[in-house]
Amino acid sequence: MNRKLTFLAVLCPLLFSSSSCTNREALGRSDDPKGGKAKTNDKLESVSPHVLPPLPFKEDALEPVISAKTISFHHGKHQKGYVDNLNKLVVGTDFAGMPLEKIITETAGKVDRTAIFNNAAQAWNHAFYWRSLSPKGGGEPPAALKQKIEASFGSLDACKKELATAAMGQFGSGWAWLVQDGDKLKVVKTGNADVPMTAGLKPLLVLDVWEHAYYLDYQNRRVDYVNTVLDKLINWAFAAENLD
C-alpha cells in the first residue's frame, strides 16, 4: 500500500502538469517574455517535467555522415534517458519547477547533486548538439561569425583544426565546443556532462564525442566522424545566432 501511494505521489504531478508543459513547448519562441530571438537553449527553459525536444531535422537527414540508426538511438534512447532520469531525480527537491539551465548552474560542482547535474547537463547538451548540426551545414560561416573566427584563430581552417584537436584530445566521453569569451572565440573541451557556461563561457556550437555519437557508423574512428561532421554538417548559422 505504501509503495503504491509513493508511486502515485511521484507520478501524479508529472501527469497533471505535462499538458501545460507540452503546450508551452509547442508554442516555442512565441512565449519568450523578452520577445527576442531565441538564443542558445532558451527555448528549453521548461520546468519539470522536462520534455524531450524534437529533432530539428528528420532522422535520416544527416545521412550518409550520421545514419538514421545512430540518430534514432542517440535522440530516442540516450537523450530521452537523460530527460526521463532528470524528471525522476527532481521530484520533491528544490529543483522541481526550475528551468533546465538554472538546474545546471545550481548543481554544478556540488558533489551531493552530481546525478541531477549530469542528467540536466546532458539533456541541455544534446538539444544544443542537434542544433549545431544541419543537413545544409559545413561550408562558410556567416560574415559576422567568419570575421570573429579569423580574428581569433587566423582562419576558418585553423578554427576547424582546433575543434578537431579538442574533439580528438578529449580522453573518454565528452564534448568539444566553440565558445565566446568576451570579444574572443575559443575552443574548449569538457568531460562527461560538463558545460562551458559554468566557467563563464558562452557556447556557440558543440560536437558530441561520446562513443554513442559515432560508434554505429565509424566504430573507433572518432577522427573520421569529427572531420566529416566539421566539413559537411557543422551549423555555422546556429553558432552565428548565438553570438552576443
By the criterion CB under 5 A, which residues form the site for Mn ion? 208, 210, 213
Q: How far is the CB of 217 from Mn ion (least distance, A)?
A: 13
Closest to Mn ion by CB, 208 vs 217, is 208
In terms of Cα–Cα distance, which of 217, 185, 219 is closest to 201? 185
* In the complex, least distance from residue 178 CB atom to Mn ion, rounded to whole angstroms: 17
Assigned C-alpha cell, 223: 577522427
For Mn ion, which residue has the nearest CB?
Answer: 208
Q: Minimum distance from CB of 40 to Mn ion (Å)?
A: 18
Least CB distance to Mn ion at residue 12 (A): 31
| 3-class SS string, the chain | CHHHHHHHHHHHHHHHHHHHHHHHHHHHHHHCCCCCCCCCCHHHCCCCCCCCCCCCCCCCCCCCCCCHHHHHHHHHHHHHHHHHHHHHHHCCCCCCCCCHHHHHHHHCCCHHHHHHHHHHHHHHHHHHHHHCECCCCCCCCCHHHHHHHHHHHCCHHHHHHHHHHHHHHCCCCEEEEEEEECCEEEEEEEECCCCCHHHCCEEEEEEECCHHHCHHHHCCCHHHHHHHHHHHCECHHHHHHHCC
Q: Please, which residue, 176 or 240, has the CB nearer to Mn ion?
A: 176
Least separation in angstroms between CB 171 and Mn ion:
16
Q: Which is nearer to Mn ion, 58 or 77 (CB)?
A: 77
**Residue 213 CB, nearest distance to Mn ion (Å)?**
5
Cβ distance to Mn ion smaller for residue 210 or 218 = 210
Minimum separation from the CB atom of position 72 to Mn ion (A)? 13
Sorted by sequence, the CB contacts under 8 Å of residue 169 that are 6+ apart come out as 189
Q: Which is nearer to Mn ion, 79 or 242 (CB)?
A: 79
Shorter beta-carbon distance to Mn ion: residue 10 or 68:
68
- Residue 24 or residue 80: which is nearer to Mn ion going by CB? 80
